[in-house]
Structure 1
Amino acid sequence: MPLVTVKELLDKAEAGGYAVGAFNCNNMEIVQAIVAAAEAEKAPVIIQASQGAIKYAGLDYIVGLVNIAAKNSKIPVALHLDHGTSFDQVIKCIREGFTSVMIDGSKYPLEENIALTKKVVEIARAVGVSTEAELGKIGGTEDDITVLEKEAMMTDPEEAKFFVEQTGVDSLAVAIGTAHGQYKFDPELDFDRLAKIKSLVNIPIVLHGSSGVPDKDIEKAISLGVRKVNIDTNIREAFVKGVRDVINKDAKEIDPRKILGPAREAMTAIVREKIRIFGSSGKA
């Protein structure tokens, strides 16, 4: 199947009251695990690449891997740029074949974030690519981007309304208490804030930093309008545990296939679990 846009997937999720999983990839095994899980669950899926993934694997490798995976699968797959930090990089990803891009101007004052997002939306829409932006600052570290706890900032619902009206963006990532990376404690999500944002904006809401959030909280967030849930850390944890288990069992093992194969299976299992929690099983 050819790649689809995130907008197409989230519009259906909005109508059906579920969320679509957006899973970060860094290499072939991760891409294979994500698609195998989505196929097994008959679910739509978003594969996304962050700054670090693009730097590590190369833009053409990421695009090539995801295109091959999508072409050989029977489920809808979107390729999304996660946390695009500059206009140039977003354009480069669109040119290479990404079907969706996130421009993250959350570090800028509101007016600058609006201006940058507007510019990206205009170009992306002209070529049929969907867009995501962020308002508020999500704490924690993702690859090269670190937001300290004291700098993290919850999304203001009225600002969100203004931002969406001004930019025409397709989906909005909000800060309601989640963080990138591993949590030391269970996060406390501000559901009232989420409900207020959703009542003021008529586009799908995106939840970043969802790996360590308890299942019941994810389900509640989805019931309040979250339609895209980002998962990265849980996949890394499964990958590393899979590799460690093999090495711990046999320190002399030197066949990469025997080391990475079980890691791929472990990642497939966690992605399947998440897809079921998001309610997107059987929605392909």
Structure 2
Amino acid sequence: MTAPTGIRTTASSYDDLVRRVLDGRLGPDPGTQRITVAFTTRQAVRHDGRGGGYRNEVLSLRLAEAVGSCAVEPGALPDGAVEDCVGADVARLLRHELLPVRVAALDAYLMHVRPHRPAGGARPFPLPAGTSLHKSRARARAVVELLDAPPGSTVLVVGVVNSLLEALRRRGLAYVPCDLKGGTTEWGEPVRTDAAAELERCDAILASGMTLGNGSFEPLREHALRHGKELVMFAQTGSAVLPCLIGAGVSAVCAEPYPFFWLDGGPGTIHRYGAAL
């Protein structure tokens, strides 16, 4: 069976999307698709001119030419998880006990059968070569342009990236920074740790795809759908997953498949979905 190349089908929820894949409705039987390579990527960052830094760890699974990814908290992935994925079929991994494995497997499958192409609704956005901070700011501009919120609106930012906060400031948008790690922003603002508690006082939501891997995505999607709020996702985790949920609470997606902007100083491409720019 050849991979479909048409417009992405909107699923009603993350679980609905998984069911569609397991039922073979979006491409070949996932029980016949095997992961050939599994790996983790770890990084620590401190941009020039920034006071603080951060760490990332990402699980990635390769299916044929496609790579699917899910970020995890550094050190959270148990020993043996990578080896457990190699040679396994996607159907088994979609039922794996570890949520990050399930998300990475779904992302790999969807990247394989529905890659980021204009025919599927993707609009490529070039990232320039440059320093890590230069590329971070370029990506932030691409993400924030997907928001349709007018100046003075308050945006809940789930997954704090200082370059995104900087871009929101330039747009005249207020924000509530939220991240499970807590701490403070580059400007000394306290970072909230309970996104659900902040939803009611925000006009729009800007969230990391990492919410898929820690189980906090569906409450954000359901709130946005119920209240008619914008939910814009910036997605290294689940870059092929989240475009399938546009129209079901997700408004727009900035999709960034592996390799991510922070891995290379050369030019790159991200893919934007869902907003009329």
Shorter-chain TM-score above 0.5: no
Q: Relative CO higher for 1 or 2, CA cutoff 8 Å, sep ≥ 6?
A: 1
> Whose helix fraction is larger, Structure 1's or Structure 2's?
1
> Whose strand fraction is larger, Structure 1's or Structure 2's?
2
